[in-house]
Amino acid sequence: MKLEKIVSYLKQTGYVFQGSEIYGGLANTFDYGPLGSLLKDNLKRAWKKRFITESKYNVLFDSSILLNKEVWQASGHLAGFNDPLTECLSCNNRFRADHLITNYDNSINCDGWSNEKLLEFLNDKKIACPVCGKLKWSEIRQFNLMFKTNQGVIDNEANLVYLRPETAQGIFINFKNIQRTTRRKLPFGVGQVGKAFRNEITPGNFIFRTREFEQLELEFFCQPQTELKWFDYWLEEMKRFLVDLGLKKENISYHEHNEEELSHYSNKTIDILYNYPWGFDELWGIASRTDFDLKAHEVHSGVDMTYLDNETNEKYHPYVVEPSLGVERLFLAVIKDSLTEETLPDGTTRELLKIHPFLAPYQVAVFPLIRKRHQAKAEAVYELLSKELSVLYDETQTIGKRYRRQDQIGTPFAVTIDDETLANETVTVRERDTMEQITLKIDEVASYIKLKTKF
């Protein structure tokens, strides 16, 4: 499926809008409409359910976006959170040198290449500017991706702060607080859902790479030497999560980082790739981060970041395994694997979002068959169901068109109120994928739908 098809579907249905649209937009920013914001929320709920609530190991955390700038000194982001930037000296557009190379040949991975090697490759292979077609690249320089702002009323160096480029560091700096107050023993994990900001040189592919995005991160603290066992454990959980959400197995693959690609703090990293419209690309990463972060924060803050094992009386820095997922990348993958066009037995077609019922923005739509006659009862059913479910009320157009509209946005059930309802308190419940209809008592509907839409 082409990206343009997905983008136009999401805009037309009200899932995603261009950011600041009435002012001509702001490049690569997006606003999530009534459907999109519900889907995002459901993705986050699914992750929290699986990785926090249903995991005996993990707890939830919520740190601030603005952190003391020493945090970024310690984590290495100030010195090293860079991408290689080159400018076309003919048209002055700026690009990520490594992206120019992977666009030229996507089997090449430039992680770990020096600025000189990147420039040499661009020139040797005559990789021209994608905008003006000239071959006139500037020297490559490392561009820091952190967004800067000022805290307080004075606009100077002293009160410079950064928007967090990942949620992880907020967890590391609170390791002691969390461990002390929860009285957790190792191994345990801390999960966080929240915005992250990166001043990407070349954002793009719609919501795949943006400068503002949301992360679902888990920092799993464990005993040294056990990290690779936990790495395998969480990798299996990640795969299970994606398949349970309905992603197609054939659209998922894996890339293990080799020595050159591994970050300096990691002894094992695997990217889970998804088959996006432009090919396989990173959806979710899992990194074994060793004890790098806790030790770095100990050195910079002067605060002891060790863990005392009460049973063995050993004191050590826990190792960390980190599965880190972008909400928007999951959003795009889920939409791509759910959106279909179906030909019905009568030869007509319907656009169908076969999304997991738990993720659907609305679990059920409520329709009065005839507005004037069934409206009051339909509103009463809406009120009843909306106490327990996410419900949409629709009384416009013919019943057939209302069904199509719900199929298109992925609503797994539709409940129709008709004369039978007025006579004996039953409703027709229609299922999205099979289009089969059953009759239920009004007071059975909520529990029926809850059962069918659980994750």
Q: Does 28 help bind ligand GAP (rule: CB under 6 A)?
A: no
Mention every residue, 6+ apart, whose C-beta is less than 8 A from residue 67.
161, 162, 164, 169, 170, 173
If the CB atoms of residues 206 and 413 are measured against ligand GAP, the closer one turns out to be 206
Q: 153-172 mask for ligand GAP (x: CB under 6 A)?
A: -------------x-x----
If the CB atoms of residues 218 and 365 are measured against ligand GAP, the closer one turns out to be 218
8 A C-beta contact, residue 52 and residue 60: yes
Please, what is the minimum distance in Å from the beta carbon of residue 279 to ligand GAP? 16
Binding to ligand GAP in span 295-324, by CB under 6 A? 322, 324
Residue at shortest CB range from ligand GAP: 326
Q: Does 215 help bind ligand GAP (rule: CB under 6 A)?
A: yes
Please, what is the minimum distance in Å from the beta carbon of residue 289 to ligand GAP? 8
- Identity of the amino acid at 188: F
Residue among 170, 285, 318, 323 that touches ligand GAP (CB under 6 A): 285
20-28, 55-63, 209-217, 401-409 -> range binding ligand GAP (CB under 6 A)? 209-217
Q: Does 36 help bind ligand GAP (rule: CB under 6 A)?
A: no
8 A C-beta contact, residue 42 and residue 361: yes
Residue among 261, 282, 309, 351 that touches ligand GAP (CB under 6 A): 282
Q: Does 209 help bind ligand GAP (rule: CB under 6 A)?
A: yes
Residue among 16, 32, 71, 217 that touches ligand GAP (CB under 6 A): 217
If the CB atoms of residues 200 and 418 are measured against ligand GAP, the closer one turns out to be 200
Q: Does 63 help bind ligand GAP (rule: CB under 6 A)?
A: no
Q: 171-200 mask for ligand GAP (x: CB under 6 A)?
A: ---------------------------x-x
Provide the binding-site residues for ligand GAP, judged by CB under 6 A. 166, 168, 198, 200, 209-210, 213, 215, 217, 282-285, 322, 324-326, 328-329
